[in-house]
Amino acid sequence: MLGKVLTSLLLLAVFFYEPAEAQKKKETLLSEKVTQMMEWASKRSVIKMNGDKFRRFVKAPPRNYSVVIMFTALQPQRQCGVCRQADEEFQVLANSWRFSSAFTNKVFFASVDFDEGSDVFQMLNMNSAPTFLHFPSKGKPRRSDTYELQVRGFAAEQLARWVADRTDVQIRVIRPPNYAGPLLLGFLLAVIGGLAYLRRHNLEFLFNTNVWAFSALCFVLIMTSGQMWNHIRGPPYAHKNPSTGQVSYIHGSSQAQFVAETHIVLLFNAAVTMGIVLLCEAATSDMDIGKRKIMCVAGIGLVMLFFSWLLSIFRAKYHGYPYRCEHPVSFLYTNTSLL
């Protein structure tokens, strides 16, 4: 009887000892991981990771901290200009968090380069860069833990809002001072002021309607092409697929755009405007009929060709848009016969 009691007590001791020992090992391992992450973060705000570090400090439990990772391709042979631009903004965000008074071990920032962690890209079925993912402290990443880069852009302020939404950590973005803008503005004002001073006895150019019309037209073209949206959202210039190497200059969604796309739209709008100006000049000018015909043909050609391309871009972004422009060559042939 006494032997059975002792056996039961021994089994109970083993039963309670093993979970306690396992819990102690878990806490020790977690403490070591947090200490290592803090040490790396103290040396550089964005921790560089390869496949081994990713599996040990991000994928493998235990983990009580979140990790925001930028998957990128910064090697020169990858020719990913967008990756370098996004990396600069990511560095600004990470530095703002690392050197803030609110810095804790709740969130860490890291990066995985394709050439140093291609196995991580394969593990996550990732075929584009740059990509931002949030790995929460508990559970697996959800769909909302993938940053919508093509919609929101990669500006540090936009990334900070997304991090705050996913982790409840508010990061005030602090950028290093950039004197290029004020210096350029000052230089421009100095040039304008110098020219005005040199021509102070002949300021008729200030009342030239063509100068003001051209300036207003340039301003309208810049604004209507989406430059202000670029300034606010900070989208990438273009998108390059690191697997296929294909570069996209036109965004496939109506909710976002690339910087290159705005340049293309600006050029097309300017060409259409030039065509309209030529048509107006052909109708009102006192030049001989031959030159007016040439101006009319050139104006119709510019309007039809570039407006057709504008509609093509619109159709590519707004899928299912039913309208299209008549082929410019046939339209031009039909309408020039009336001249």
pLDDT tens string 192-249:
788 777 777 776 767 778 778 888 888 888 888 887 777 766 777 777 766 666 788 8
Percent of the chain with pLDDT over 90: 12
pTM of the model: 0.58
* Contact yes or no for 112/120 (Cβ under 8 A): yes
Whole-Å CA distances, 91 to 48, 70, 73, 109, 161: 12, 10, 15, 9, 15
Per-residue model confidence (pLDDT) at position 5:
52
pLDDT tens string 108-132:
999 999 888 888 888 888 888 888 9
Q: Which residue has the higher pLDDT, 227 or 336?
A: 227
**What is the C-alpha separation between 132 and 235, in angstroms, rounded?**
14
**Which backbone phi and psi does 169 adopt, to 5 degrees?**
-105, 115
Candidate from 11-20, 27-36, 73-82, 261-270 with smallest mean pLDDT:
11-20
Candidate from 69-78, 260-269, 318-327 with smallest mean pLDDT:
318-327
Q: Where are the domains of the chain?
A: 26-167, 204-317
**What is the C-alpha separation between 149 and 160, in angstroms, rounded?**
13
pLDDT tens string 252-284:
777 778 888 888 888 999 999 899 888 888 888
Per-residue model confidence (pLDDT) at position 150:
75
Dihedral sign for Cα atoms in the order 266, 241, 137, 100: negative
Quickly state the pLDDT bin for 134 (edges 50, 70, 90): very high
Tell me how far the alpha carbon of residue 336 is from its chain's centroid. 45
Per-residue model confidence (pLDDT) at position 336:
44
Per-residue model confidence (pLDDT) at position 312:
84
**What is the C-alpha separation between 269 and 307, in angstroms, rounded?**
8
Per-residue model confidence (pLDDT) at position 46:
92
User: Alpha-carbon dihedral of residues 145, 146, 152, 158, nearest 10 degrees?
Assistant: 50
* Contact yes or no for 230/264 (Cβ under 8 A): no
**What is the C-alpha separation between 232 and 56, in angstroms, rounded?**
38
Quickly state the pLDDT bin for 148 (edges 50, 70, 90): confident
Mean pLDDT of the 54-72 span? 89
End-to-end CA distance of the chain: 120
Query: How many other CB atoms are found less than 10 A from the CB of residue 115?
Result: 13
CATH topology of domain 26-167: Glutaredoxin (3.40.30)
Alpha carbons within 13 A on the beta-carbon side of 172:
6
User: DSSP assignment, residue 67?
Assistant: E
Q: Which of 240, 225, 210 is nearest to 272 (CA)?
A: 225
